Structure 1
Amino acid sequence: MSTLNISAYRFVSLDDLPALRERMLAQCHALALKGTILLAPEGINLFLAGSREAVDAFMHWLHYDPRFAGLQGKESLSDDVPFQRMRVRLKKEIITLRHPTIRPEGGRAPAVDAATLKRWLDQGHDDEGRDVVLLDTRNAYETDVGMFPQAVDYRIGSFTELPSAVEADRARYAEKTIVSYCTGGIRCEKFALYMQDIGMERVFQLEGGILKYFEEVGGTHWQGDCFVFDERGAVDKALLPSGSSPSPQSSPEDIRA
């Protein structure tokens, strides 16, 4: 497989969006990369595809900006480039929640890594003996492709529906350890902060999301594949294209994580 796919995000304050967009678009075109980059005042969310050399060169260039220094991506391989073109888009939020008081660029919620979550699921509780509730923050058409079977799935149609669903179901989470998860980390990071903001305790995000979980522990406890927002449709636990087709509700160039 000759195409490297990389996804990465960072919540960081950005105030030069139009100029940054032009610089990033020019660099991606120069390296013949395809994919989507989202830029917003709260940060960056990107998914790029191309040769290993081109992707590495772009990330090296990106790291010269101190706001993106050390930004690491999640990698997977495919035979073909799963994007038709290169876009850099300016947005109000890199992942839309419509709760402006939630500002992830100001500080993260606690995170749990893949190995720790696997251990908690193996033993049936966290390290302090509390029950663990997994919250899937993705849309219904994504969870249909695969999920942790014991997770809470509200069958939402968009991320903006999740706050009201959780608010109406708060009793489920009382006295438990909550771990929110998503594809690559961006949604579960933002939503973990939302849950903290409304007074929920012992809230964690899954570090790096499902893709990092697959990479580090091989998808133990996971059922099915993982939906991705490009022409691959989904990847399996080895992070290889699974052959699933993208949902008609999504665009191959609608990037999420």
Structure 2
Amino acid sequence: MASAVHHNFHRLLALLLRPLPAPVRHPRLSFSPRPAGVRSFFPAPGCRLGTYAVALAEPELVPLEEEEDDDARFVVVTFYKFVPLEDPRTEVASHLHFLQGRDIHGRIYLNELGINAQYSGPHKDAAAYADWVKKDHRFHDMLVQTSPALTGHAFPRLKLRYKPSLVQLEGGSLHLPLLDPSMRAMPLTPSKWKERLEARACLDVSSSEMSGRKLLLLDVRNDYEWDVGHFEGAQQPNVDCFRSTSFGLSGEYFKLQVSDPLNGVDKEKTDILMYCTGGIRCDVYSTILRKKGFQNLYTLEGGVSNYLKAEGPAGWVGNLFVFDGRLSLPPATFRRPACWPSEGEKERWVGRCYACGSEVVELRHRNCANIDCNRLYLSCGWCAEELAGCCCSDCKAAPRLRPLLPGHQRYLKWHVYRDGLLPPAAADSEDDADCC
């Protein structure tokens, strides 16, 4: 028995101590951050990754693989690829031409560094576009992710255009070495990611200190995404919008040191596991961290959405925030595990009301009714009514307010309310949230 325990311990230790690429020295990157606070969540130690029930008030969603193969059913498709495009504006025209007559809504951006797409449509049209893109040899190995839409389109309209930055980032991203795979974090498949999480859960602090290596799990998303779900044990900077992310830069900006989870981290002996929704934000930000000297960077291939589809909710707490009309998706949207925990074993993840701090079971955000705030936040029903759809009393007293919408409807563009173009009851989920 003792021999078996000894063998298993060293097997798990080996997962964290596997050989890594030799350190590479890179020139410094100029970057202007904003200060950011930090919050972290550490569960009790244990070797088995837990699974958690979804919010009880979430709508019933059928996993994609269980749906009938109906060309008319609506789906949401996401993909991205970093690849050199010599004439991206001509590429935009070509994509627009292909989509003529096809029922596609969403955000599709191209520039000299590649493509980033999130869109919805009937399965036939959505699949046809993805297949057409992949027929181009530059995109043949691109990961395409598909999930079911709730009802119809998840986006109000199609925005297909040239965009200087494929993701919103201060200073843009055209100057970043995104086309060099060695400058990006090393991708881990969902199964390898799960192995690393399990090994991390089983190795206690003393074992880590004895080996000289550490592992840091970093959530590279926005704080409101964290509110509805995240991996157990992940550290998350308090970032309102990805574009202002500044962790890992406190060496040059002293005032950030207290709030920077990477401050003081050994850049050569710490494995940093980064994750985001679909993977693109980790790829982008890892090039910045690489420039700052962080050597051992890993990212979850395809992001959380790919992990939930491949591995189920093991190690994941809550729902997944998405940047479309659905807003929040339970893990069962992507895959319903064969061994789903019984009702007695399930734990319920709840968020907190932004205004009063009470528990919020329905993990769906709303926008602040104050046009000049527009914060995405969780709210209990009482505060939503009491504050007239605003996130705080100051916003409730602001001069430019939209009406409180019932349920979790989404606001239209602000000029609709300014100009009185539409009665409040007609407002719906047309104002989509850009990924930042």
Larger radius of gyration: 2
Contact 1:83 1:230 in 2 (8 A): yes
Q: Is the 8 A contact 2:185 2:282 kept in 1?
A: no
| Counterpart residue number, 1:36 | 107
Q: Distance in 1 between matches of 2:146 and 2:165?
A: 24
Q: Which residue of 127, 130, 142 maps to 1:59?
A: 130
| 1: CA distance, partners of 2:96 / 2:112 | 18
**1:228 and 2:322 equivalent?**
yes
Matches within 5 A, 1:98-247: 98=171, 101-107=175-181, 108-124=184-200, 130-162=213-245, 164-168=246-250, 169=260, 170-174=262-266, 175-239=269-333, 244-247=363-366
Structure 1 residue 8, shift from structure 2 partner? 0.2
- Letter matched to residue 95 of structure 1: V
Give unmatched runs, 5+ long, in structure 1: none
Amino acid at match of 1:167: L
Separation of aligned partners in 2, 1:126 and 1:89: 47
CA drift of 1:47 comes to 0.9
Structure 2 distance, partners of 1:84, 1:158, is 22
> 1:165 & 1:173 partners in 2: Cα distance?
11
User: Does 2:165 correspond to 1:93?
Assistant: yes
Q: Deviations over 1:24-54 (max 9, x none)?
A: 1232242211111011221110012112221
Kept after mapping to 1: 8 A contact 2:168/2:435: no
Partner of 1:68: 139
Percent identical across equivalent pairs? 27
Gaps of 5+ in 2: 1-66, 68-72, 251-259, 335-360, 368-374, 377-430
Q: Separation in 2 of the partners of 1:165 and 1:56?
A: 38
Distance 1:105 1:218 in 2: 31
Q: Which runs of 4+ in 1 moved over 4 A?
A: 125-129
- 1:47 maps to a residue whose letter is Q
Cα deviation, residue 160, structure 1: 3.0
Task: For residue 166 of structure 1, give the secondary structure of its aligned residue in structure 2.
Answer: coil
User: Does 18-27 or 84-93 show the bigger shift?
Assistant: 18-27
Partner of 1:18: 89
Map Cα deviations across residues 192-241 of structure 1 (whole Å, 9 max, x no partner). Answer: 2221211112111111111011011102111111110100011111236x
Preserved CA contact (<8 Å) 2:107 2:160: yes
User: What is the CA deviation profile of residues 1-31 of structure 1, one whole-angstrom value per residue up to 9, with x for unaligned ones?
Assistant: 6212110000112232222222212322422
Could you tell which deviates more after superposition, 230-239 or 90-99? 90-99
Distance 1:31 1:59 in 2: 12
Q: Distance in 1 between matches of 2:240 and 2:99?
A: 32
Q: 1:52 to 1:177 in 2, by over 3 A?
A: same
Please name the residue that 2:421 is paired with. none
Cα gap change, 1:17 to 1:230, in 2 (>3 Å): same
Normalised TM-score (structure 1)? 0.88
Tell me the secondary structure at the aligned position of residue 305 of structure 2: helix
TM-score by length of 2: 0.54
| Greater share of strand | 1
Cα deviation, residue 126, structure 1? 9.9
Q: What residue is the counterpart of 2:155 in the other structure?
A: 83
Residues 161 and 254 (structure 1), Cα distance of their counterparts in 2 relative to 1, 3 Å cut: closer
Listed one character per residue, the Cα deviations across residues 42-67 of structure 1 (whole Å, up to 9, x for unaligned) are: 11100121122212211222123222
For the aligned residues, what is the CA RMSD?
A: 2.5
* Equivalent residue, structure 1, for 2:43: none
| In 2, Cα distance between equivalents of 1:142 and 1:24 | 31
Instruction: For 2:214, give the aligned amino acid.
Output: D
User: Is the partner of 1:254 in helix, strand or coil?
Assistant: coil
Indicate the SS of the match to 1:238.
helix
Q: Distance in 1 between matches of 2:175 and 2:97?
A: 34
In structure 2, what is the Cα distance between the partners aligned to 1:171 and 1:229?
30
